[in-house]
Copies of this chain bind each other. A is one copy, B any other.
Amino acid sequence: MKQIAAEARVSLGTVSHVLNRTANVREPLRQRVLEAVAALGYQPSELARGLRREKTSMIGMVIPDITNPFFPAVVRGAEDVAFANGYRLVLCNTDNDHSKETAHLNALRAYRPAGLIVIPSNFSDLTTQAQSYREAGTSVVCVDRTPPHWNGDTVTVANEEGAYRATRHLIQLGHRRLATVVGPQHLTNAQQRLAGFKRAVRQAGLSVNPEYIQESTFDKLGGHAKAGVLLRLLPQPTAIFAGNDLIALGVLLALHDSGLRCPQDVSLIGFDDLDFAEMTNPQLSSVYQPGYQLGATAARLLLERVAGSINVARHLVLETELKIRQSTAPPPKSAQPIAAPRATRKRGPAASRRVRL
Measuring CB to CB, which residues of chain A are less than 8 angstroms from any residue of chain B?
43-48, 50-51, 56, 58, 61, 65-67, 69, 71-73, 75-76, 79-80, 83, 86, 88-93, 104, 106-112, 249, 275-276, 279-281
Contact B72 A67 (CB under 8 A): yes
Tell me which residues across on chain B come within 8 A of A43, comparing CB atoms: 106, 109-110
9 cross-chain pairs, A with B, having the tightest CB-CB distances, nearest first: A281-B281, A46-B110, A47-B51, A91-B91, A47-B50, A276-B276, A66-B72, A67-B76, A67-B72
CB distance from A141 to the nearest CB of B (A): 18
Contact A110 B44 (CB under 8 A): yes
Tell me which residues across on chain B come within 8 A of A76, comparing CB atoms: 65-67, 93
Contact B79 A93 (CB under 8 A): yes
Can you offer 12 A-B residue contacts whose CB atoms are under 8 A?
A: A43-B106, A43-B110, A44-B110, A46-B110, A47-B111, A51-B51, A66-B72, A79-B93, A88-B108, A88-B111, A90-B90, A280-B281
Give the oligomeric copy count.
2
CB distance from A91 to the nearest CB of B (A): 5
Excluding A43-B110, A65-B76, 17 further A-B contacts by CB distance (< 8 Å) are A43-B106, A43-B109, A47-B110, A47-B111, A58-B90, A61-B91, A66-B75, A69-B275, A79-B91, A79-B93, A83-B92, A86-B107, A88-B90, A90-B90, A90-B91, A249-B279, A279-B281
CB distance from A109 to the nearest CB of B (A): 5
A72 to B83: give the CA distance in the assembly, Å: 19
Contact A48 B51 (CB under 8 A): yes
Contact B276 A112 (CB under 8 A): no
A58 to B111: give the CA distance in the assembly, Å: 10
Tell me which residues across on chain B come within 8 A of A112, comparing CB atoms: 45, 47
User: What residue in chain B is nearest A104 (Cβ atoms)?
Assistant: B83
User: What residue in chain B is nearest A56 (Cβ atoms)?
Assistant: B47
Tell me which residues across on chain B come within 8 A of A249, comparing CB atoms: 279
Tell me which residues across on chain B come within 8 A of A107, comparing CB atoms: 83, 86, 88
Tell me which residues across on chain B come within 8 A of A46, comparing CB atoms: 110-111
CB distance from A20 to the nearest CB of B (A): 14
